[in-house]
Structure 1
């Protein structure tokens, strides 16, 4: 059974049966990569644990709105990013610290959006639209590594290519996504997607 089919089956079970075991499978599969991404943003392990819990609580509460045909990893990434940004906006007031949280990926003029539940869908659709523009093989490697949390070796085994080739695919995908952000208005792109893309490709 493929990962894609598993995800479809899990989400449908979550929606139709309120299946806690399906929820636990999704949590086990993705909590480490989501926690890792949150930590990179907030630099606070205790806060990251709290945000992680909020993310999966939101997934349970909003389970009926999830699209079984779309990767749940994308949804988790967007929601965790939004919640992390809310924490930063609340707890980090100095622009310098905010820049450091992004590894200086953004300049001081970036306007970070206020996080609201309806904003998830807009960011998710934009993220998926951008990723779909990548060449198929590079897109697959990028998603497996960046969103699914698989290592270069694991992705290489799945795709039948070397880890070095996977690394190059991911590097090329990072470059292509950043170029697209630049072409569509730099850091002031609609729905606050630019900060999310810059973080994803950092």
Structure 2
């Protein structure tokens, strides 16, 4: 596989509309992104749709990227949040179907639900509040889907240290989620842990 240029070169090329480089980005990252999406959304067609939407969004937002942003990080983070949005919609649809069969649940309760956005924002803040090395290890392993070995090589530390960082980060995030909201804790346990 062809080696990609540095991040600043990628951002500049995308801003100029370089379709060839965009294709290289797709070739380089699509398989890893698909695997991560599929872990949370185990339907091949839906996972593929999310993947295509992520790259479409990258193309549409190529002028707003800046050199402080990692394109790889943008792709993995965006794919994670888009996947979670899709999962939320599926859950919401199923819950609505259940609600329609129950006289106790009113339809309008589902129509103005911004709780998910608040929970994902809280989760992002919680991840950002982790100590830097633990946050990096967690994001590389859990969000970008890298192996412990790959994370260790990226951060220049031992594999065992990566495992400890990820374990510690998960414990810290679980504690924050449990203190904040039982539903958030449940979301965290099912989709992050």
User: TM-score, normalised to structure 2's length?
Assistant: 0.67
Bigger Cα Rg: 2
Aligned 8 A contact 1:30 1:149 in 2: no
Alignment of 1:1-202 (within 5 A): 6-15=6-15, 17-84=16-83, 85-86=85-86, 89=89, 93-95=93-95, 127=124, 129-187=125-183, 195=187, 201-202=192-193
- Match for residue 105 of structure 1? none
Distance 1:62 1:125 in 2: 24
* Residue of structure 1 in register with 2:106 after alignment: none
Q: Write the distance in 2 (CA, Å) between the matches of 1:161 and 1:22.
A: 31
Q: TM-score, normalised by structure 1?
A: 0.65
Check the 8 A contact 1:142/1:169 in 2, yes or no.
yes
Cα distance, 1:139–1:83 mapped onto 2, change above 3 Å: closer
**Match for residue 104 of structure 1?**
none
Bigger RCO (CA 8 Å, 6+ sep): 1
**1:87-109 alpha-carbon deviations (Å, 9 max, x no partner):** 662587334xxxxxxxxxxxxxx
Distance in 2, matches of 1:11 and 1:66, equals 7
Task: Give ranges in structure 1 of 5+ residues lacking alignment.
Answer: 96-110
Write out per-residue CA displacement over residues 167-201 of structure 1, whole angstroms, 9 at most, x where no aligned residue: 12111112222322334445469xxxx95x65663
Cα separation, partners in 2 of 1:114 and 1:74, compared to 1, 3 Å: farther
- Contact in 2 for aligned 1:78/1:124 (Cα 8 Å): no
Distance in 2 (CA, whole Å) between partners of 1:33 and 1:125 is: 26
What is the RMSD of the two structures over their aligned residues, measured on CA atoms?
A: 3.8
CA pair 160-83 structure 1, distance change in 2 beyond 3 A: closer
Q: 1:154 to 1:40 in 2, by over 3 A?
A: closer
Cα shift at 1:30: 2.7
Contact map agreement 2:54 2:82 (CA 8 A) in 1:
yes
Q: Contact 2:80/2:143 (CA < 8 Å) preserved in 1?
A: no
Measured in 2, the distance between the counterparts of 1:170 and 1:178 equals 12
